């Protein structure tokens, strides 16, 4: 496992998060049932979520299901939820969340879960993807958390490490969260003075993304003058990063990651820690389960503090070393 030298604490949960006493069910009572749907199986988010509830003394039974990278499995889970009638539904990622709860503008009770409270996590852009109208309130029976640092701080972190005038991005055109993030990047080009070079993964005859020419796409971005390759929280990209990152490195094109999952593939990352995000999601579940707070009254949030990670082995390989001042506050990946 890669060693990480922490220069500064990266997380402080909101005041009162662990100080508030839980109103959990008595030991003789039946535990709360949580139906949990992940995209690729359990992650550190789920570990943080479970640990938070355990530390708070909240008895739960978690029914774990995974889409195994296939969102078409979610309707089957929805039918199982209707049969089980859990106390809470937990979803991981934009495709799973949309498949379970639907869009705010089209939450058809015949197709989606609307009568059971829900909490989502790892949704990159809840508003733009249609999960919620605003982060202040979902306006319906769900709340949740987002893991993505806003685009502007990410771009400024890249600029602080290595100034650039052209940014490359490779993404999946059928992922709503990716489209929303790329749109946000476009909106910042004039203000921050950079050009955006875009490429999308091709779709096969069935409309599914493929990595058949991933290396060629990365080469095109490098040839177009991209000075960074932005690894946005795109599910297909994250799953197939081994087809992208080594090519970028061989071309001398540094990667920047917006998600913890890819921090070992990027030169630098500005991220929310998965485990801490799971704890924040657990806090929201606690409000729903033990305090009876309606989900629509619980705002959608991301963490208040983020981690800046420098991949020093990759810096040596690329011969792109960080500014000395950045070492005072960054986390250093050493091997």
Show the tokens assigned to 50.
């479970």
pLDDT tens-digit profile of 124-170?
A: 889 988 999 999 999 999 999 999 888 899 999 999 999 999 999 99
CA 228 to chain centre: 20
Confidence of residue 21 (pLDDT cuts 50, 70, 90): very low
| Cα–Cα distance measured from residue 156 to residue 133, given in angstroms and rounded to the nearest whole number | 28
pLDDT higher than 80, residue 5: no
pLDDT tens-digit profile of 105-130?
A: 999 999 999 999 999 999 988 998 89
Show the tokens assigned to 279.
């704890």
Global confidence as pTM: 0.78
**pLDDT of res. 170:** 98
- All domains in the chain, ordered by first residue: 31-147+274-297 (3.40.50.2300), 151-271+307-333 (3.40.50.2300)
Distance from first CA to last CA of the chain, Å, rounded?
8
pLDDT tens-digit profile of 219-236?
A: 999 999 999 999 998 889
| Cα–Cα distance measured from residue 175 to residue 172, given in angstroms and rounded to the nearest whole number | 6
Q: Are the C-beta atoms of residues 47 and 64 closer than 8 Å to each other?
A: no
**pLDDT of res. 287:** 98
Q: Are the C-beta atoms of residues 209 and 172 closer than 8 Å to each other?
A: yes
Maximum C-alpha span of the chain: 66
Fill in the DSSP letter of residue 93.
S
9 three-state secondary structure: coil
95 three-state secondary structure: helix
| Cα–Cα distance measured from residue 233 to residue 269, given in angstroms and rounded to the nearest whole number | 12
**pLDDT of res. 215:** 97
**Positive or negative: CA dihedral 234, 237, 238, 244:** negative
Nearest to 233 by CA among 195, 278, 184, 192: 184
pLDDT higher than 90, residue 56: yes
Confidence of residue 76 (pLDDT cuts 50, 70, 90): very high
């Amino acid at each position: 496992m890669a060693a990480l030298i922490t220069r500064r604490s990266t997380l402080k949960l909101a005041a009162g998060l662990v100080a508030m006493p839980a109103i959990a069910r008595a030991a003789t009572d039946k535990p709360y049932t949580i139906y949990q749907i992940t995209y690729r199986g359990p992650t550190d988010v789920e570990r943080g979520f479970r640990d938070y509830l355990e530390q708070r003394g909240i008895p739960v039974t978690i029914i774990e299901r995974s889409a195994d990278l296939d969102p078409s499995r979610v309707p089957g889970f929805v039918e199982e939820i209707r049969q089980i009638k859990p106390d809470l539904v937990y979803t991981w990622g934009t495709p799973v969340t949309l498949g379970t709860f639907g869009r705010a503008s089209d939450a058809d009770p015949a197709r989606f879960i609307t009568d059971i409270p829900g909490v989502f996590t790892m949704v990159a852009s809840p508003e733009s993807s249609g999960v919620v109208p605003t982060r202040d309130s979902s306006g319906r029976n769900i709340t949740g958390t987002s893991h993505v640092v806003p685009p502007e701080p990410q771009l400024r972190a890249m600029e602080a490490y290595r100034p650039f005038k052209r940014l490359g991005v490779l993404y999946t055109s059928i992922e709503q969260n990716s489209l929303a993030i790329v749109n946000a990047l476009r909106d910042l080009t004039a203000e921050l003075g950079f050009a955006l070079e875009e490429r999308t993964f091709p779709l096969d005859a069935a409309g599914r993304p493929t990595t058949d020419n991933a290396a060629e796409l990365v080469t095109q971005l490098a040839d177009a003058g991209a000075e960074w390759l932005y690894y946005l929280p795109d599910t297909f990209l994250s799953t197939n990063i081994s087809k992208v990152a080594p090519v970028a490195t061989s071309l001398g094109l540094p990667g920047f990651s917006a998600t913890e999952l890819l921090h070992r593939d990027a030169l630098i990352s500005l991220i929310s820690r998965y485990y801490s995000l799971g704890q924040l999601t657990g806090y929201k579940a606690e409000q729903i389960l033990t305090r009876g707070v309606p989900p629509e009254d619980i705002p959608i949030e991301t963490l208040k503090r983020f981690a800046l990670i420098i991949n020093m082995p990759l810096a040596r390989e690329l011969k792109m070393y960080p500014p000395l001042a950045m070492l005072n506050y960054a986390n250093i990946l050493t091997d």
